[in-house]
Structure 1
Amino acid sequence: MNSKANQPFPEKLFRRQDESPDALFYQAPRFVTHIDEGAIAAVTQLYREYFPANGTLLDLMSSWVSHLPADVAYERVVGLGMNEAELRANPRLNEYVVQDLNQQPTLPFEAASFDGAAICVSIDYLTQPVEVLRELGRVLRPEAPLVITFSNRCFPSKAIAAWHALDDHGHLQLVAQFLQAAGNWHATELLDRSPRPRRSDPLFAVVARAGAL
């Protein structure tokens, strides 16, 4: 792990119960959703609010479904994830890249290539989140939104230690600190979009705008 990229955070915060290669863990496709219908609807609503129609989007840490509004057209949607079978099955992706961000956090895209980006229920698995978020800021156009969503579920063995140590609101603050440390984000919003009344999974979001370093 590149601990320098995550300063000022101690390296121990990014340790995981299972430190075996992530490629092994994600080798078999999982054609399931990791949050329930109510939380998925909340994610889709956020995308409707923040992502421009006909824009070019990056779905980071993507899988077989992107939760984008079915009635909104986008010029191009690019997925980057760990399992090729899942990415190939995603009907919203125009193209995809298979990449382990914990091994290679540099994104294979030109600067200012996208009008928006999403990380859905996956930020807790990044061992170099600051570097990945800095890269996201590079490949987004100025003022483009990044929508990071998460719930109270995870694969415990692959989530970083810092995630296990915090509650839901602590997770919001942690993600905001990652963005601040990346240095090329602003206008950060911390949102609780949990369905009301609470009959489904909670849904939290951190939204920020890309800006120059």
Structure 2
Amino acid sequence: MSKANSREEDPYSHERYAGFPDGFFDRSDSSVDDNFYAQPRMVTHIDDRAVRAVGDLYSELNIGGRVLDLMSSWVSHFVDVPEDLVVLGMNSEELARNLQASSWCQHDLNLNHRLPFEDDSFDAVVCCVSIDYLVRPLEVFAEVHRVIRRGGVFVNSFSNRCFPTKAIHGWSQTDDEGHVSIVAEYYRRTGPWADLDAQLRTPLHGAGDPLYAVWGSAV
């Protein structure tokens, strides 16, 4: 199926969520996220080794051109900064301080999953340590597929750390291996995506934060 034809389907069908247990996408704190993220946090949420692993993966995958950093903040972790990096996230002060960004957009994907960009407008999309907070991830993945160009890679990286009250229950109640399976399932139920891969990008028995990544290319 071509990418253009896939857009004719309804990407928001409730059938896409069949099989996920009741309450999987609920959170302990279901209040509006604006309040939680109102105070800027100028910190990295993973340690330095995991940060380097993110940047190294982006370079290994040759991510460049026009890139969207989804659910971003004040730093995007690129070693090789893309020519045009658009960062989208919750806190305007954090986004404005992102020195790697060409432009930024404040947007709450849990309130409105629709990405404010035209079809086929990005060469790649990345999302770092944020996938666990999405309450309607399949809609967001469908939107990423809409805005990414054919062949463009969509990378999700994550660790074992999070804001527990804002992470979905399905994530909080699952181990690292389960997290990889959850994200891979998001790809399988949307897209279509090709060349799916999942890796632990930090040493298996090393100290510090683990860094996992799942990615695929838009078809």
- TM class by shorter chain equals over 0.9
Q: Give the equivalent residue in structure 2 for 1:28.
A: 39
- Of 32, 55, 66, 1:56 maps to 66
Provide the rounded CA distance (Å) in 2 between the counterparts of 1:117 and 1:63: 15
Q: Give the equivalent residue in structure 1 for 2:88.
A: 80
**Count of equivalent residues:** 207
User: RMSD value over aligned CA atoms?
Assistant: 1.6
Q: CA deviation at 1:6?
A: 5.2
Change (3 A) 1:7 1:191: same
Tell me, yes or no, if the aligned pair for 1:56 and 1:74 is still in contact at 8 Å: yes
Residue 172 in structure 1 maps to residue 180 in structure 2: yes
Residue 135 in structure 1 maps to residue 143 in structure 2: yes
Tell me, yes or no, if the aligned pair for 1:39 and 1:195 is still in contact at 8 Å: no
Q: CA deviation at 1:3?
A: 8.4
Runs of 4 or more off by more than 3 Å in structure 1?
none
Provide the rounded CA distance (Å) in 1 between the counterparts of 2:156 and 2:143: 15
Change (3 A) 1:196 1:13: closer
Letter of the 2:34 partner, please give it.
A
Structure 2 residue runs of 5 or longer lacking an equivalent are 1-11
Provide the rounded CA distance (Å) in 1 between the counterparts of 2:73 and 2:93: 9
Identity of aligned residues (%): 46
Provide the rounded CA distance (Å) in 2 between the counterparts of 1:178 and 1:90: 28
Residue 185 in structure 1 maps to residue 196 in structure 2: no
Change (3 A) 1:73 1:125: closer
Provide the rounded CA distance (Å) in 2 between the counterparts of 1:5 and 1:30: 37
- Of 67, 72, 75, 1:65 maps to 75
Tell me, yes or no, if the aligned pair for 2:114 and 2:140 is still in contact at 8 Å: yes
Provide the rounded CA distance (Å) in 1 between the counterparts of 2:49 and 2:205: 11
Alignment of 1:33-48 (within 5 A): 33-48=44-59
Tell me, yes or no, if the aligned pair for 1:59 and 1:66 is still in contact at 8 Å: yes
Provide the rounded CA distance (Å) in 2 between the counterparts of 1:166 and 1:7: 18
Provide the rounded CA distance (Å) in 1 between the counterparts of 2:93 and 2:22: 33
Q: CA deviation at 1:51?
A: 3.4
Tell me, yes or no, if the aligned pair for 1:56 and 1:77 is still in contact at 8 Å: yes
Taking structure 2 as the reference length, the TM-score comes to: 0.90
Q: Deviations 1:33-85 (Å, cap 9, x if unpaired)?
A: 000000001001011011334x110000000000001xx24220000000000
